[in-house]
Amino acid sequence: MDFKFRYTGAVDRARNGFARQGMMETLKAQMEVLKPGFCEITARIRPEVSQQNGFAHAGLAFAIGDSAAGFAAQSLMTEGMDVLTTEMKIHLMAPAQGNSLVARGSVLKSGRTLTVAEAKVYAQSGDTEILVAVLLGTMMAVKDTGQ
Amino acid sequence: MDFKFRYTGAVDRARNGFARQGMMETLKAQMEVLKPGFCEITARIRPEVSQQNGFAHAGLAFAIGDSAAGFAAQSLMTEGMDVLTTEMKIHLMAPAQGNSLVARGSVLKSGRTLTVAEAKVYAQSGDTEILVAVLLGTMMAVKDTGQ
Amino acid sequence: MDFKFRYTGAVDRARNGFARQGMMETLKAQMEVLKPGFCEITARIRPEVSQQNGFAHAGLAFAIGDSAAGFAAQSLMTEGMDVLTTEMKIHLMAPAQGNSLVARGSVLKSGRTLTVAEAKVYAQSGDTEILVAVLLGTMMAVKDTGQ
Amino acid sequence: MDFKFRYTGAVDRARNGFARQGMMETLKAQMEVLKPGFCEITARIRPEVSQQNGFAHAGLAFAIGDSAAGFAAQSLMTEGMDVLTTEMKIHLMAPAQGNSLVARGSVLKSGRTLTVAEAKVYAQSGDTEILVAVLLGTMMAVKDTGQ
């Protein structure tokens, strides 16, 4: 698919939105890439985000996968629009072990009200990437309330 | 449904598993109730777990909803078994605003390998509870590796 | 939850919509009940709707479960509105064997644009009902095009 | 991904399984392709499988998408193994109008017990294909009971 930004401030809007999410700070997540219909977010695997076996908690893969899909969706929306996840499914396919997780979100179908987006989450160790989770869900465009 | 623990140490197993999850500590989540096929987990809504509008991040509702469903599922498993989420869907139905979130997980179908479980997540403010999210997913029983 | 019809013709609208679905005729499905926020649809388990082991095909449970959820959602919409499923998840929990399947759809959250609805599908044999599938998904209100 | 059949009779097993599904005959569906980790199934859009607006019913996209994902999953299983869908999500992204639907199922992750598979469903009119649905779900390997 061949998407374009519909608003020149789309990257700034995403950066600002990301910075306002306390959860992303708590998870030490960073937005690495924002392109039309695509977003990449990373987070280190630390004890603070572990589950009972020392791997990253499903909540970490979900949080950055959902955010990557959401910012990918918002990147195609017009000025003044914010994005809400209405529903999201995640498959956890392998233990999330390694140095960090990287989530790559992309848009499958961009509509006026609803967007279908997916994200793939990989565990990185050195040069190796293993697919640990896949997300698929629905985003809704809503008027940005500024706060 | 009328479920029973199959292992006298089921409550201790859940408490220990919960305590080993660094993510639950990071989110300041607490396991309030564990009964056969049921688990309740709460977390305060704090700036550290917010999204861009100041509501609780979808990742918080997911993390405690998924954990509540998971411990509900594990509560019906025999000794030595741990639980993994293989997939989970979440619907976000209302803004997660208020003092705290409470997730109530329960088992719909308990199989030898797979369990289907759901969770409902409510935002609490004073005496009021509003349903903000519903989760439905699959849990798999795996041998507990002790660490 | 305590729902009410918002349109006096809601039952007729549903009966007409159901009658226009060639698929429901092909599956010999029948709408048994329509109440505010609730719909029940049944279908006999016949060789024509079987999978490879002689049980009802997942496609049958999906088709009547999705329709039951959809008509439950539409029952709460104002005059002139039709309903579309935007996404739906189904869990298949037991073999669909017996005389017939009954799907009971109900609304969890009714919004202006989006409705979250679920359906439970039971296999009936004589007086016995076994839960064979659970569905959870999103419905969207759209202007009825009359055809 | 680079998958291989683990059983020389994999194609015959799939053809036989497909032929035993009464539902596929009822929907006039045909298995066009079976390769390791991939399956393609088509069905004509006929009045007998329509919804209320004359488009193909969501149940048709689900039935052939689920079957395509399922046979893709089974293609990587050893001799004597059959496949069951444990859960499946479908997104309906555009009206299913045209001459026929084609579902292409592929395996994302093949495990000993569980397989994660997806399917994309396109509406075909002449030389044009439009993506109308995406499915993502879980398949379980079970001993084939021969009937």
Q: What is the per-residue pLDDT across A49-61, written as a single tens digit (0 to 9) for each?
A: 998 888 999 999 9
d(CA A75, CA A77): 6
Q: Which residues of A touch D108 (CB under 8 A)?
A: 91, 93, 131, 134
Closest CA to D63 of C40, C88, C39: C88
Q: What is the mean pLDDT of residues C5-23?
A: 95
| Residue A52 DSSP label | T
Interface test with D, best of C26, C46, C71, C83 (most D CBs within 10 A): C26
What is the predicted pLDDT for the residue at C86?
98
Inter-chain touch A131–D116, beta carbons under 8 Å: no
pLDDT confidence of D53, banded at 50, 70, 90? confident
Nearest to B51 among A21, A50, A87 (CB): A21
Nearest Cα residue in chain D from A131: D109
Secondary structure of residue A78 in the 3-state scheme:
coil
Could you tell me how far CA D83 lies from the centroid of its own chain? 12
Interface test with C, best of D13, D25, D26 (most C CBs within 10 A): D26
Closest CA to C113 of A147, B135, A88, B93: B93
Q: Which residues of B touch A23 (CB under 8 A)?
A: 48-51, 57, 59-60
Nearest Cα residue in chain A from D92: A116
Q: Which helix (H) or strand (E) holds A26?
A: helix A22-26
Q: Tell me: pLDDT of A27 over 80.
A: yes
Q: Which two tokens stand for residue A86?
A: 């209405």
Smallest CA–CA separation between D44 and chain B, in Å?
A: 32
How many residues in chain B? 147
Q: Tell me: pLDDT of B93 over 60.
A: yes
Q: Which residues of D touch A138 (CB under 8 A)?
A: 91
Beta bridge partners of C34: C39
Q: Which residues of B touch D135 (CB under 8 A)?
A: none
Interface test with B, best of A26, A134, A144 (most B CBs within 10 A): A26
Q: What is the mean pLDDT of chain B?
A: 95
Q: Tell me: pLDDT of D3 over 90.
A: yes
Q: What is the mean pLDDT of chain A?
A: 95
pTM of the complete model = 0.96
Cα-flanking dihedrals φ and ψ of residue B65, to 5°? -65, -45
Position D131, amino acid: L
Contact by Cβ (8 Å): A113, A42? no
Chain D residues near any Cβ of chain A (below 8 Å): 89, 91, 93-94, 108-109, 116, 131, 134, 136, 138
Closest CA to A94 of B84, D107, B65, B69: B84
Q: Which residues of D touch C86 (CB under 8 A)?
A: 91-92
CB atoms within 10 A of CB A116: 22
What is the predicted pLDDT for the residue at C9?
96
Q: Which residues of C touch B93 (CB under 8 A)?
A: 108-109, 116
Q: Tell me: pLDDT of B102 over 70.
A: yes
Nearest to D134 among A91, A94, A136 (CB): A136
Inter-chain touch B88–A89, beta carbons under 8 Å: yes
Q: Tell me: pLDDT of D52 over 90.
A: no
Report how many Cβ contacts below 8 Å link chain A to chain B: 124
Q: What is the mean pLDDT of residues A107-114?
A: 95
Q: Which residues of C touch A89 (CB under 8 A)?
A: 89
Nearest Cα residue in chain A from B89: A89
Q: What is the mean pLDDT of residues D125-146?
A: 93
- Which residue has better confidence, B3 or D145? B3
Nearest Cα residue in chain B from A63: B59
What is the predicted pLDDT for the residue at D1?
63
Output the CA–CA distances (angstroms, integers) from residue C84 to A36, A54, C138, C146, D93, in the order listed.
28, 43, 9, 14, 10
Q: Which residues of D touch A136 (CB under 8 A)?
A: 89, 91, 134, 136
- Which residue has better confidence, D19 or C54? D19
Nearest to B93 among C93, C94, C116 (CB): C116
Taking phi over 0 as left and psi of -120 to 50 as alpha, with beta for the rest, C142 belongs to beta
CB atoms within 10 A of CB B36: 17
Nearest to A93 among D89, D93, D116 (CB): D116
Contact by Cβ (8 Å): C14, C79? no
Secondary structure of residue B110 in the 3-state scheme:
strand
Contact by Cβ (8 Å): B52, B12? no
Beta bridge partners of A109: A116
D65-90 burial, b at 16+ Cβ within 10 Å, e below that, comes to bbbbbbbbbbbbbeeebbbbbbbbbb
Inter-chain touch B134–C136, beta carbons under 8 Å: yes
Interface test with A, best of D112, D130, D136, D140 (most A CBs within 10 A): D136
Nearest Cα residue in chain A from D89: A89
Angle at B98 between CA B92 and CA B103, to 5 degrees: 50
Interface test with D, best of B114, B115, B116 (most D CBs within 10 A): B114
Output the CA–CA distances (angstroms, integers) from residue B9 to B13, B14, B16, B34, B80, in the order listed.
6, 9, 11, 12, 10
d(CA B123, CA C35): 29
d(CA B144, CA B20): 13
Position C118, amino acid: E
d(CA B2, CA B107): 10
Residues 6+ apart with CB under 8 A from C85: C66, C69, C70, C137, C138, C139, C140, D58, D92
What is the predicted pLDDT for the residue at B51?
87
Closest CA to A139 of A17, A56, A33: A17
pLDDT confidence of D145, banded at 50, 70, 90? confident
Lowest-pLDDT range, A8-12, A15-19, B51-55, C103-107? Answer: B51-55
Could you tell me how far CA B92 lies from the centroid of its own chain? 16
What is the predicted pLDDT for the residue at D54?
84
CB atoms within 10 A of CB D22: 18
Residue whose tokens read 């599922």: B73
Chains contacting chain B through 3 or more C-beta pairs under 8 A: A, C, D
Q: Which two tokens stand for residue A122?
A: 């990989």
Chains contacting chain C through 3 or more C-beta pairs under 8 A: A, B, D
What is the predicted pLDDT for the residue at B146?
59
Nearest to C87 among A113, A138, A140 (CB): A138
Residue whose tokens read 């998924």: B66
Q: Which residues of B touch A62 (CB under 8 A)?
A: 58-59, 62-63, 66, 88, 90
What confidence tens digit (pLDDT) does each residue in C25-67 have? 999 999 999 999 999 999 999 999 998 888 999 999 999 999 9
Inter-chain touch B48–A25, beta carbons under 8 Å: yes
Q: Tell me: pLDDT of B30 over 60.
A: yes
Q: Tell me: pLDDT of B54 over 90.
A: no
Secondary structure of residue C80 in the 3-state scheme:
coil
Q: Which two tokens stand for residue C105?
A: 């759809």
Smallest CA–CA separation between A70 and chain B, in Å?
A: 11
Residue whose tokens read 């869907």: B89
Residue whose tokens read 């954990």: B67
Position D48, amino acid: E
pLDDT confidence of A146, banded at 50, 70, 90? low
What is the predicted pLDDT for the residue at A1?
63
Q: Tell me: pLDDT of C12 over 80.
A: yes
Q: Which residues of A touch D113 (CB under 8 A)?
A: none
